[in-house]
Structure 1
Amino acid sequence: MMQSDVDGEGGGRSVAELVVVRSGAVRSTGAADLPWVVIDGAGVAIEPVSEFLRELLACGNGASSCRSYGYDLLRWFRFLAAVEVPWDRAQRDEVRDFVLWLRTSDNPARVRTRPDAPSPGSINARTGKPSLSAGYAPATINHALSVVAAFYAFHVRTGKGPIVSPVPPQSRRGGRVHAHHNPTEPFRLHKRGSYRQKQPDLPPRAVPDDVLDDTFSRLECNRDRAMFSMFLSSGARASELLGMSVGDACPGEGRIYVATKGLGGMKQACPAAPEAFTWLALYLGELAGEGHRPEPDEPLWWTRRNPLRPLTYTAVRAVLRRINDSIGANITLHDLRHTLGLRLIADPQVTLVDVQQVLRHRQVTTTGRYLRPRVDEVIARVHEHYPRPRPRPRPLAGWTYDEQDLSDVFGVD
């Protein structure tokens, strides 16, 4: 049983025995000034969260960011309700116990009820990628801490919350400390902020070619073939590709336009393979044959069953889940983006800056992660090394040790 070790208010709280009720929800409003709200167990919007989300939107963040922040704050308010502490009375003890609760609790989004579901963290034989663990990932905990810190920082500024934020600040030596680093001096290691978790630096992982072939062979319609081919050849993220309109596909130019993450809906061009446009033409022809001709400003991807409606991420993920179950794999849509990045890096005719432009990374250092050698390639090269004959050291010839030098060093008479 894990217990809080720090004495004080909440110091004797048993996190292991804490029951956090999954009450409340994050709901869409359809309003431009507040697209998402967090409601409590009584179905009432939590006004301090709504004020913070309005501020977030006004600062240039998108609706998807508001939704993501809303879920983190919903989790925080559920925890506060379980420990019976008002949001404006929370102390550092509550933040510490919140982190401990996240570290020791199962993530409901990762619950698998099928009897044949892989055990959490097990390595998939076909892709070499581990299955998701049962708990909250370190990145999820760190993101939740950052959101809660921003929430309290906003209310400290407005004077409607506590005088001091309960979340410990990030280390001042972190952030952009290397922006003006002297290249002749070594980099210094920096301490993580309190309660921030260690995050593994995982390299991008490509989907093996045989798994890709099996995946495409099990796609049941031209819509899915066009979509997955565009995922693999454009490097677009799931939300970007699913947010395309008909006019965003330009076969004559060999490109598509997607609303890039973090740019407030601004669209950027991405390349797409000719076969992707071929499947797209077949898919649009089928739509027209069924009497549905979407206008250039209407969504590009639609469901196959009536009543027709725009395709959602949940539906696409369900398609991929069925394929994974049938071929024994565990690939995700984002794995296709990694696959394209690694393929481009391996092409000597494509520069690192070209890959940065295709993947639309703000910093080239992010693209540089794709330069790291793939684990399976390194293991293959090492296995090729094992049977090679070991080189024997050359005998030294042409000179000998001086007897007087040996006597001086070792004290031999």
Structure 2
Amino acid sequence: MPNQTGPRRDLKNFVLPDIGRLIETEDPWEPCQLLDPSGKSVEPVAVYFKDLMAADSSPLTPRSYGMDLLRWWRFLWALGIEWDRAVREDARDFMLWMKLVDKPVRVHWRHRGKAPSALPAASLASKPTPGTPNPITGKPTMGKKYAPATRAHCETVLRTFYDFHLERNAGKLLVNPFPLVRNRRSARVNAHHNPEKEHRKQRTGLYRPKVPKRIPRRIPDEKFTEVFAGLRSHRDRALLAFWIATGARAEELLTSQQGDAVVGQQTIGVTRKGTREYQELPATPDAFVWLRLYQEEAWKKGVPRGRKQPLRWTLRRPWRPLEYDAARMMFNRANELLGANWTLHDLRHTATFLMLDDPDMPPVYVQHILGHKYLSTLDIYNRPTRDDVITAGLAHHARRERLRVNPPPPPPAPGYNPASLANLFGGQP
């Protein structure tokens, strides 16, 4: 198929083909592979992944980048374009397509091949309109379109991918199809920055969308209690108790081994996501109680036991260490009982709010517990939340209504002695 550019390309009716795939190999030398429709590895992507791993990136980075590269490669395959012959118009159309198209709907594996009438009633139940706020949490539900953060991540990955191959002079590649903004093509970021002022975030890619600032959400105490009551096992209760106590990221807490939970010191060790450093975090006695209940139950069933063994396992045979996707599904099931859409990361936000609400807890300690590099990252928690704003606004209207119904008495005429008025009517002078 010829390389179609300009107005002749019909993006409105373009459907991204489901060809090629990204696989996880469980090989530390090559964690992920991008395969073409014939099942062969895409060499330019394999070289890029190897460079990422040599740069000490997380093993999860190739998978994250690979999803964006797979989407781009499918776009190229559908239009018959070689990766190193793509031009700016191709990148423009791809980013425009991502902005306007509806995301593909993933059907659960249990429901594949079934007609809508054959699906269970629960799957057909009415749900909030995509993109509208959840009535319980106030957070917007998942929209039909690709989120700005997803498009921004995709643009950054593809631009850096082509920059990497331009430096290597790979193949027939002559230009990066994902250009920088016009005023940045010959200058670095903040080249003329005033050192007395804070750095401003600047948009680098020409097709990179503007990403709205995320407001951290906290789970109210009463709602957290309801979510906790909806959990099915001691393992899940221990997990939630540790997440809300330590403020650790969801995947960090899943790296703990049985020897990392020190009951006497009331700490649990985790491996940090970014630096991959080992750090001990303080937890609550309740978290260790739930953990002990889970361990006694699991060991009787035959779950492996030992200081170097994973701390949490699947609930059924064959025993496997609990992974992030399974933990997320567990939390989502408890969410569905309330009709809420909180995420595991909201537990980290909630723990942060609880620590910052304590006047005797120095923010620098909170920064260390969260594993943040800079203290300024805690500034986002100083912004009022949606619930705080609504509560303050309603209280303002209530005060105005009380003043309208019961207005204060008019001030006395000038010349009266305030002390005499206080003795006469009672009150402070």
* TM-score of the two chains, using structure 1 as the length reference: 0.86
Amino acid at match of 1:148: L
**Which of 87, 94, 107 in structure 1 is aligned with 2:90?**
94
2:270–2:280 CA contact under 8 A, matched in 1: yes
Matched, 1:17 2:16: no
Q: Following superposition of structure 1 onto structure 2, how do residues 207-222 of structure 1 map, counting pairs within 5 Å?
A: 207-222=219-234
Q: Following superposition of structure 1 onto structure 2, how do residues 220-369 of structure 1 map, counting pairs within 5 Å?
A: 220-263=232-275, 265-369=276-380
Change (3 A) 1:178 1:328: farther
Query: CA offsets, 1:139-171, max 9 Å, x none?
Result: 111111111111111111111141221111256
Change (3 A) 1:179 1:338: farther
Matched, 1:50 2:59: no
Amino acid at match of 1:63: P
Alignment partner of 1:44: what SS?
coil
Alignment partner of 2:63: what SS?
helix
Change (3 A) 1:67 1:155: same
Q: Tell me the equivalent position of 2:384.
A: 373
**Which of 132, 135, 154 in structure 2 is aligned with 1:122?**
132
Let me know the Cα RMSD of the aligned residues: 2.7
Q: Following superposition of structure 1 onto structure 2, how do residues 73-112 of structure 1 map, counting pairs within 5 Å?
A: 73-108=69-104
* TM-score of the two chains, using structure 2 as the length reference: 0.83
Deviation at 1:295, TM superposition (A): 2.0
List gaps (5 residues or longer) in structure 2.
109-115, 117-122, 415-429
Q: Tell me the equivalent position of 1:68.
A: 64
Deviation at 1:40, TM superposition (A): 1.5
List gaps (5 residues or longer) in structure 1.
1-7, 398-413
**Which of 131, 148, 152 in structure 1 is aligned with 2:162?**
152
Query: CA offsets, 1:19-40, max 9 Å, x none?
Result: 2112122112222221111112
Runs of 4 or more, structure 1, over 4 Å off, are 109-113, 173-180, 186-192, 390-395
| Overall identity of the aligned pairs, in % | 40
Instruction: Give the whole-Å Cα distance in 1 for the aligned partners of 2:398 and 2:285.
Output: 43
Instruction: Give the whole-Å Cα distance in 2 for the aligned partners of 1:56 and 1:279.
Output: 40
Query: CA offsets, 1:218-249, max 9 Å, x none?
Result: 11111010011111111111221122222222
Instruction: Give the whole-Å Cα distance in 2 for the aligned partners of 1:295 and 1:42.
Output: 44
1:236–1:359 CA contact under 8 A, matched in 2: yes
Query: CA offsets, 1:328-352, max 9 Å, x none?
Result: 1111111111111122222211222
Change (3 A) 1:109 1:251: farther
Amino acid at match of 1:115: L
Amino acid at match of 1:240: E
2:148–2:210 CA contact under 8 A, matched in 1: yes
Instruction: Give the whole-Å Cα distance in 2 for the aligned partners of 1:61 and 1:144.
Output: 17
Instruction: Give the whole-Å Cα distance in 1 for the aligned partners of 2:130 and 2:16.
Output: 22
Deviation at 1:66, TM superposition (A): 1.2
**Which of 50, 55, 62 in structure 2 is aligned with 1:59?**
55
Matched, 1:206 2:206: no
Change (3 A) 1:141 1:247: same
Change (3 A) 1:98 1:279: same
Equivalent residues, number: 388
Deviation at 1:266, TM superposition (A): 2.2
